[in-house]
Amino acid sequence: MSLKIALAGNPNSGKTTLFNALTGSNQFVGNWPGVTVEKKEGKLKKHSEVTIVDLPGIYSLSPYTLEEVVARNYLIGERPDAILNIIDGTNLERNLYLTTQLTELGIPVVVAVNMMDIVKKQGDQININELSKQLGCKVVEISALKGDGVLKAAEEAMYAAKNAKTIPLHTFSGPVEHAIAHIEEAVVHNMPEEQQRWYAIKIFERDDKVLSKMNISSDLKNHIENDIKSAEKELDDDAESIITNERYVYIAEVIKACYKKKNAGSLTTSDKIDKIVTNRFLGLPIFALIMYLVYWVAMVGVGAPATDWANDGLFGDGFHLLGMDGGYAEDSEKYADAAAIVDGYDVYVEENGEPTDKFTYEVEDEETLEITEEEASVEDYKEALKTIEEMGDEPDPADYGTWVPGVPVVVEKALDKANAAEWLKGLILDGIVAGVGAVLGFVPQMLVLFFMLAFLEACGYMARIAFVLDRVFRKFGLSGKSFIPMLVGVGCGVPGVMASRTIENERDRRMTIMTTTFIPCGAKVPFIAMIAGAIFGGDAWVSTSAYFIGMGAIVISGIILKKTRMFSGDPAPFVMELPAYHLPTLPNVLRSMWERGWSFIKKAGTIILLSTIIVWFTSRFGFKDDSFKMLAEEELEYSILAKIGNAIAWIFTPLGWGNWQAAVASFTGLVAKENIVGTMGILYGGGDQTTWQALAAKFTEITGFSFLVFNLLCAPCFAAIGAIKREMNNVKWTIFAIAYQCGFAYVIAFMINQFGGLATGKANAVGLVFAFAALLVILYMLFFKKYKEADKLTVLGDAT
């Protein structure tokens, strides 16, 4: 017999960890019908007839958020065979609130008390048998993180589905029970007996969705309304608050009977840490320091050497399998110095005639491209000639150890062997390998970053940041709930936009959707790393600044938008569970890292592959000498892509990078942000060190930073734009959101270029006038314009 077991619990209770432990790889992910809330189902390990349905994390069955609506509709509409309710043993009071509601549904419930290892470590005691007796259902203890007791919990749920009934043992006060009894008798007496109490309680609470479903006559409504008002009058509170308060009174009695805290009143380890990391003054600086360290490790400390190996080795000439033998560095430097002297001597003779004693020559730094003048004697020249004659050819790295050729080298040899056509070689080598390889070369940095972010999320720190930032966001018209989509958006903008549905206030939700993609997502990491490495010498502050520029853009936008009528009003209240700090298991962190990384790699193999083929074709073919033909490397200005780029490049001239290559890279970035790197790799030669040198020559630090900021803040990729359209559910609002993002990005990048030019002595008078005007408008909106009162009016064709 097939069974369906619903997994229900609060956010951060360990529900997802339990679901992964129970189902392993037997998971099916989609969306609930008609909504963008993620739906997860999986087959229970060793029990293929049992389906585990992972419901969204919720705090109650009251329909305030889309997740709560989805969970409640499934439970009362689909009625699974059993509910496995996972609760956090370190926070019983908050978690049992949902339990009291689940036990009223008439569906068999098994409670799994999670994090029991932490409870025992703290010296606390939970009497599982007494808790089971108080709740009227089976209770088991587990540790989802360690896998302890998880299969037993599922088996208990299977047993309950076949054999058990859950009868709620808690009762409300006399006036409430009197009203509920009247409602059961008058309204729900024809329903199945096990469902009557839940419906009666919801009618007592005046639940809109239940009342509309029941279709109660006006006479009957008036009758039960009198009973409800009598209870409200006697208890001096509204019906919903009465039920909430009495649930917590019952929960307090349950906890008193079964829970013993070792150090009652004393601070736990998590509380002690929170006194520092959530401190009003220290919270933000600590967050900034942690994020700087994360990006330094990911981009510089560990990620940079790995990415250098990927770019210059795997997707370059090749690499040494077991390290380099002999003195390649010494021989290479010796040969390079000798060659520079000989070349410099020849240039000096050509320009000045034979030197009598000494002469000067120019030396170019391979990494910075900086040119310096050196002095050498005629004797040095003779010695250099002798060195070159003795060494023969320039030292080849392949001769200094076990050499593994890079992907381009292997592919090129295979194509030569197959006598491939010139255009096919160009497509594969200069298009696919160079474009996709330039993107995949940054996978090591991304994996390191995803690993560290997954660790911060799993250990409980990111939940604290949401709490810390709520204090900041609230001052600027946003709720701390807005940080959750931004946190999710660090991985990918699509689920980040979708996460905004947890915000009840429609105005706040729309504003969050508009600003969430300002936070750098995983797809922007290669682009950030490329700019930081090529133009700024790999400085970690550039990568870190991208994160805080995104946060600053959100704060500034929040203030400005809240002062307009379409977004006015108080931000939604923010309630969030702060889980106890714990050391996450390596498999869970690696799973999270790999899911994000694999999503990126799949995109490189599909969208980016197709994009690089198109970019290569349009950049290598064009009209020259009145004919359409394949162009040589030095003829790219005649290409189709160059024509398109030149047609739009003028738009970006005020930003400091009005060349066609940068213009088309920004355009292809709309398909997928990784395409910026792939496009640069194709247009600037192979995605290796040559590309980075070309970028360094094309951009200054000011214009490079302007390019970075514009592409960070402008419209996201097409997939994220699609998510914005679905969540906005309105074409005009979607157009407004994209227009605001692009306009805001343009203004900020414009000011960076113009004010940067002022600092470097390359200012443009007209540009400065407009830049100062833009700055004054922003300052006025931030500090002088008053907030609008919230009112009801139609904006962009939609009632707000």
Instruction: Extract the annotated binding site for GTP.
Output: 9-16, 34-38, 54-57, 114-117
- Amino acid at position 305, single letter: P
Which residue carries 């514009």 as its tokens? 710
Distances (CA, A) of 767 to 147, 700, 704, 749, 763: 62, 18, 18, 12, 8
DSSP state of 116: H
Residue 212 has a CB neighbour count (10 Å cut-off) of: 9
Which residues are known binding-site members?
Answer: 9-16, 20-21, 23-24, 34-38, 54-57, 114-117
**Sign of the C-alpha dihedral, residues 368, 702, 663, 649?**
negative
**How many other C-beta atoms are found inside a 10 Å radius of the C-beta of residue 261?**
15
Q: What residues contact 123, with CB distance under 8 A and at least 6 apart?
A: 262, 263
The C-alpha atoms of residue 115 and residue 145 are separated, in whole angstroms, by: 8
Q: What is the CA radius of gyration of the chain?
A: 32
Q: Two tokens at 442? A: 């940054």
Distance CA(327)–CA(628), nearest Å, equals 50
How far is the C-alpha of 738 from the C-alpha of 518, rounded, in Å? 12
| Amino acid sitting at position 96 | L
Cβ distance 705 to 752 under 8 Å? yes
What does the angle CA 294 – CA 300 – CA 305 come to, to the nearest 5 degrees?
130
Closest CA to 520 of 611, 446, 620, 595: 446
How many angstroms separate the Cα of 533 from the Cα of each of 274, 277, 385, 453, 689? 36, 32, 36, 22, 10
How many Cα atoms are found within 13 Å in the side-chain-facing hemisphere of 223?
A: 13
Task: Give the separation between CA 10 and CA 4, rounded to whole angstroms.
Answer: 20
User: Residue 238 and residue 234: Cα distance in Å, rounded?
Assistant: 10
C-alpha 572/C-alpha 509 separation (Å) is 9
The Cα–Cα gap between 460 and 470 comes to 16
Give the residue among 247, 191, 217, 204 at the shortest CA–CA distance from 76: 191
Q: State both tokens at 703.
A: 């214009």
Which residues does residue 628 pair with via DSSP β-bridges, in sequence order? 623
Cα(110)–Cα(154) distance, rounded to whole angstroms?
9
Torsions phi, psi of 90, nearest 5? Answer: -85, -5
Sign of CA dihedral 149, 151, 155, 160: positive
CA–CA separation, 577 vs 463, rounded Å? Answer: 8
Q: Phi and psi of 685, rounded to 5°?
A: 95, 70
Three-state SS at 111? strand
Which candidate, 688, 664, 423, 442, places its Cα nearest to that of 543?
Answer: 442
Q: What CA–CA distance (Å, rounded) separates 650 from 188?
A: 70
Residue type, 258: C
Report yes or no: 270 and 581 within 8 Å, Cβ to Cβ: yes
Compute the half-sphere exposure of residue 154: CA atoms within 13 Å on the CB side of its CA.
27
Residue 112 backbone phi and psi in degrees, to 5: -110, 110
User: Which parts are annotated binding residues for Mg(2+)?
Assistant: 20-21, 23-24
Residue 200 half-sphere exposure, CB side, CA atoms within 13 Å?
Answer: 26
Terminal alpha carbon distance of the chain = 49
Q: Name the DSSP class of 124.
A: -
> How many angstroms separate the CA atoms of 29 and 233, rounded?
48
